[in-house]
Amino acid sequence: MAHCPSCSAVRTEARVPDEALRCGCGETLAADEFHRHDDPAGYNTAFEPAAVDEFETFVTQRRSIAIETRGLDARTSVEPNLGIDVAGNADVLRLNGGFVDPAGAETPFSVKASRSRRVATAKKGQWYLHDEGIFEDSDVRFTPDPDVEPEPTRLMSVKRTDAVIVYPRTVPSALDLARGDDGKWSTGVRAAAVSATQLLIQRAALELDVGPEEFETLEPGTRDTLPALQIADFLGNGAGFSRKLADDDGRLLVRMVRSMALDPTSDRLVSKWVEGDHPSTCDHACYRCLERYGNRAYHGLLDWRLGLSYLRLLVDDGWMAGLDGRWNASPYTRDWTVGAEAVAKGIIALSPEHRKPGRPLGELRLPCVIGDDHRYVIVHPFWRDIPIPDDDYDGRTIAIDTFDGSRRLSRAIARGEISD
């Protein structure tokens, strides 16, 4: 299996190819980018009591959900800027690549082949289990197979179902939603795409009168370097929900997106989020809006304002996310400056002896903080360029976007100072 660095899709083969292959998007996948993954026939336990402190030692594993499509059906859309692809018989792959160290390096599991394993049962009985793969670092007692060497193993499971992929055909040149030189999106852009996916799932569940659990949440894919939203049916072999969204030139899908992005105060789902006390009490996401138990793995990324801003791009190719100064154009950008000023105050609070408030910059009056030899300016995660006029400041200018600034401020500052 190999991950395409361009479109985020996966490519599976029965064995490691002898030469480079080409992804469906045109990207070349070198043979050494393919790694073996095993789909176990089943799992069992050690059949022994677990230690009381079993969960006291925490380890990080590389878990992800990906999709492999076998031909995409590009559908026409009643919205010119909203692209729709339907993937029939798509494979949803749950992957576990092994352990991850603090530096981010991945180490596959080491598995030994077992010839037999004896398991004690009640009344002094016993079972013999044969032909198992057992993790090398486990405490399980077994008879190893001397003819089979331990080998690095990555785990996977496969489910075939239907999926729909939604993406913007174009975005304004002043916005930057493309992947960087390292092949990754900024965290704010990824958060926007993940949040928009959750918005679509919850809105579709409401429209179709089903539970959100009927949809499989997938990581954003890529179309022409832009993030694409991917949704699949949770039920194996498909339940028809994803296809329903794309039927009739995507009229249902477009209507839902337009309602949430262009008329949020009247939308069945998000109207409660943009009115009352919710905007002032929910900085990113909460259980009154995007968060639910089923998407807890993404709670650190969810942001209802960014999700709606992404959906706006699908139905408004002139949307500038506040770069044109029209903050009041939508309820989900109206209070952006409040959040930006909170980030600026946080920067000062980290080192009040060396930082002080600066005068707002440019026509947008962006919050600014002056340091010893550089200044910080707070920007939106979607913006490509910093709209700062030429002035007499001779130090470095470091941009901190509001997502990173409100979630992991110290890291954002450190990264900016190193890269700038």
pLDDT confidence tier of residue 334, bands split at 50, 70 and 90: very high
Sign of the alpha-carbon torsion through 203, 208, 211, 212: negative
For 231, 251, 274, 303, 323, the CA distances from 333, given in Å and listed in that order, are 26, 26, 10, 12, 11
pLDDT > 70? residue 182: no
Q: For residue range 287-330, what is the model confidence (pLDDT) as tens digits?
A: 999 999 989 989 999 999 999 999 999 999 899 999 998 998 89
Those residues whose C-beta lies under 8 Å from the C-beta of residue 64, and which sit 6 or more positions away, are 94, 95, 97, 219
Tell me the torsion sign for CA atoms 29, 218, 199, 245.
Answer: positive
Average pLDDT, the chain: 87
Residue bearing tokens 């176990």: 40
Share of the chain above pLDDT 70, in %: 94
Structure tokens at 416: 């900016």
How buried is residue 212: exposed, middle or buried, by Cβ count under 10 Å (0-12/13-18/19+)? middle
**Which of 321, 338, 329 has the alpha carbon at shortest distance from 282?**
338
Which residue has better confidence, 302 or 66? 302
Contact 394, 375 (CB under 8 A): no
Please state the rounded mean pLDDT for residues 357-370: 91
Are the C-beta atoms of residues 361 and 377 closer than 8 Å to each other? Answer: yes
